[in-house]
Structure 1
Amino acid sequence: MTLTHRLAAERLTLGYGDRVVISSLDLAVPPGEITVIVGANACGKSTLLRSMTRLLAPREGRVVLDGKAVHRLPAKELARTLGLLPQSPVAPEGITVSDLVGRGRHPHQGVFSRWNAEDDAAVAAALDATHTAELADRAVDELSGGQRQRVWIAMALAQQTDLLLLDEPTTFLDASHQVEVLDLLTDLNHARGTTIVMVLHDLNLAARYADHLIAVADGALHAAGAPREVLTETTVKAVFGLDSRVIEDPVSGRPLMLPIGRHHSGPPGGGPKATGPDPAHG
């Protein structure tokens, strides 16, 4: 059960070269819930997610899974518990959709084990869930950006981990497919208890789908808690430098951020968007 798995960062400092991106950050991921990380561009959201899956070694502190530092766990053991969909994954040239999704089953393959019916079922379920089954025999590099993104999500689902981390899973998707993917992840969370951690740019989608919302600013944890506690006009101003009004979403009952632009027609350049995909990365 995913409720037995605890993922946390302890006094975590991350960086590239001489640049420190995250400094002395403490963070606990609530098990069995959907956590969404938000923040301005280049604030360290993706860097934090990469470290939590041990793709980036910390300069100080550590990321722990069930009390053990993830950077000390065997790769295959970690991959059976924690899955990652990175920001800009690259598929091998010419690989088909079914073969790529099947790679999600690699952590479950032992030295002497062979592909079996359980693997077939996991791949088929992932393709069906992401509406990519009709693409199974096509080459990934022939697909549109939105189709490729759904295929990558299918691969992550096929891995069938108790914890799933996704960096901008709605990238390249139109509005309807964004909601479809986030509904799918919510269903996975409700049905299997999968702990999900996502980086999203759209504040209103983040507030609508998160059980636990984390706002990162200037390399530090600015706020964390229920969306109603975190998505406030004060936080939007502090984290994004944007004036806004936060009201109750009449559909979801969650907080809804309305940006106040210079001409009252939308957010100024560089601010968070109220709706729709944002191809920029953090």
Structure 2
Amino acid sequence: MSDTHSLTAEQLTLGYGDRTVIEDLDLVVPAGRITAIVGANACGKSTLLRSMSRLLAPRGGRVLLDGRAVHGMPAKELARTLGLLPQSPIAPEGITVADLVGRGRHPHQGIFSRWSREDDAAVAAALEATQTTALADRAVDELSGGQRQRVWIAMALAQHTDVLLLDEPTTFLDVSHQIEVLDLLTDLNRTRGTTVVMVLHDLNMAARYADHLVALAAGRVHAAGAPADVLTVDTVRAVFELECRVIVDPTSGTPLMLPIGRHHMTADEPVAAGGRAG
């Protein structure tokens, strides 16, 4: 169960070339819960996720998994505990869906070990969960964008890690498939205790599916906590420079952000009202 694993960032500073993207960031990911990271474009969401999976080395500070710096851990050992679905993964030319999903099992293979029934079961379960079983023999580069995204998610599921990082997992998916993927991740969290950390653009989806919400602004954590405490009028204004209302979703009971356009303002209702859902 992943609730035995801790994932934290301490005074983390990240960047590319002469540009600093994240500076002195501290973050504690709640174990065994779903965390959604939100923020405006170029605020550092994907950069943070890349460093947490050790794809990007920090300029300062560190990322710790169970108290150990991830950048000092052997790659295969890390991959057995922590999996990543990046924003724009690239599949080898001509590879089939089944073969790509099967690559999620590589961290569990030893030098002399052979493909096992357990590996077959993990791949089959991942394909079924993402509704891609019928695509198993198709070449990945022949699929639509939405189909490819579900196949990449299947590969991440087949890796069978206790901590799963996903950068925009609903990219290219229509609304119904977005819901299916987020429901799938929720089921994974509830049944296996998998710690899920995902970057999402849709604030309302993030508030609905996450237990813990992290709002980034200018490379720092602006707010973190329960969705009802983070998704507020003041936070949306500060992080997205957007005026809105926040109400309680009558279906889910989670905060629901309603943007206010200039043409929808009324003279007797100022848009600067603060506060939060509820």
TM bucket normalised to smaller:
over 0.9
The residue number in structure 2 matching 1:200 is: 200
Give the distance between the partners of 2:123 and 2:194, measured in 1 at CA.
Answer: 17
Q: How does 1:209-224 map to 2 (within 5 A)?
A: 209-224=209-224
Give the distance between the partners of 1:247 and 1:88, measured in 2 at CA.
Answer: 34
Give the distance between the partners of 1:216 and 1:173, measured in 2 at CA.
Answer: 24
Give the distance between the partners of 2:43 and 2:179, measured in 1 at CA.
Answer: 25
The residue number in structure 2 matching 1:256 is: 256
The residue number in structure 2 matching 1:99 is: 99
Give the distance between the partners of 1:63 and 1:97, measured in 2 at CA.
Answer: 32
Give the distance between the partners of 1:228 and 1:157, measured in 2 at CA.
Answer: 29
The residue number in structure 2 matching 1:165 is: 165
Give the distance between the partners of 1:8 and 1:114, measured in 2 at CA.
Answer: 35
Q: Deviations over 1:117-157 (max 9, x none)?
A: 00000000000000000000000000000000000000000
Give the distance between the partners of 1:172 and 1:160, measured in 2 at CA.
Answer: 24
Give the distance between the partners of 2:133 and 2:205, measured in 1 at CA.
Answer: 26
Q: Which runs of 5+ in 1 are unaligned?
A: 266-282
The residue number in structure 1 matching 2:269 is: none
The residue number in structure 2 matching 1:37 is: 37
Give the distance between the partners of 1:218 and 1:142, measured in 2 at CA.
Answer: 38
Where 1:87 maps in the other structure, the secondary structure is coil
Q: How does 1:106-121 map to 2 (within 5 A)?
A: 106-121=106-121
Post-superposition offset of 1:264: 2.7
The residue number in structure 2 matching 1:183 is: 183
Give the distance between the partners of 1:135 and 1:58, measured in 2 at CA.
Answer: 39
The residue number in structure 1 matching 2:70 is: 70
The RMSD of aligned alpha carbons is 0.7
TM-score (norm 2): 0.95
Give the distance between the partners of 1:99 and 1:163, measured in 2 at CA.
Answer: 23
State the structure with more CA Rg: 2
Give the distance between the partners of 2:122 and 2:54, measured in 1 at CA.
Answer: 25
Give the distance between the partners of 1:150 and 1:159, measured in 2 at CA.
Answer: 14
Q: Deviations over 1:215-241 (max 9, x none)?
A: 000110000000000000000000000
Aligned length: 265
Where 2:234 maps in the other structure, the secondary structure is helix
The residue type paired with residue 123 of structure 1 is V
Give the distance between the partners of 1:206 and 1:172, measured in 2 at CA.
Answer: 17
The residue number in structure 2 matching 1:279 is: none
Q: Deviations over 1:26-55 (max 9, x none)?
A: 000000000000000000000000000000
Give the distance between the partners of 1:62 and 1:149, measured in 2 at CA.
Answer: 30
Post-superposition offset of 1:3: 1.2
Give the distance between the partners of 1:102 and 1:164, measured in 2 at CA.
Answer: 17
The residue type paired with residue 140 of structure 2 is V
Give the distance between the partners of 1:20 and 1:5, measured in 2 at CA.
Answer: 29
Q: How does 1:150-161 map to 2 (within 5 A)?
A: 150-161=150-161
Q: Deviations over 1:162-200 (max 9, x none)?
A: 000000000000000000000000000000000000000
Q: How does 1:122-137 map to 2 (within 5 A)?
A: 122-137=122-137
The residue number in structure 1 matching 2:238 is: 238
Give the distance between the partners of 2:141 and 2:29, measured in 1 at CA.
Answer: 35
Where 2:264 maps in the other structure, the secondary structure is coil
Q: Where in structure 1 do 4 or more consecutive aligned residues deviate above 6 Å?
A: none
Give the distance between the partners of 1:4 and 1:124, measured in 2 at CA.
Answer: 27
Post-superposition offset of 1:263: 2.0
Give the distance between the partners of 2:197 and 2:251, measured in 1 at CA.
Answer: 24
The residue type paired with residue 53 of structure 2 is T
Where 2:127 maps in the other structure, the secondary structure is helix
Post-superposition offset of 1:262: 1.8
1:11 to 2:11 alignment: yes
Q: Which runs of 5+ in 2 are unaligned?
A: 266-278
The residue type paired with residue 118 of structure 1 is E
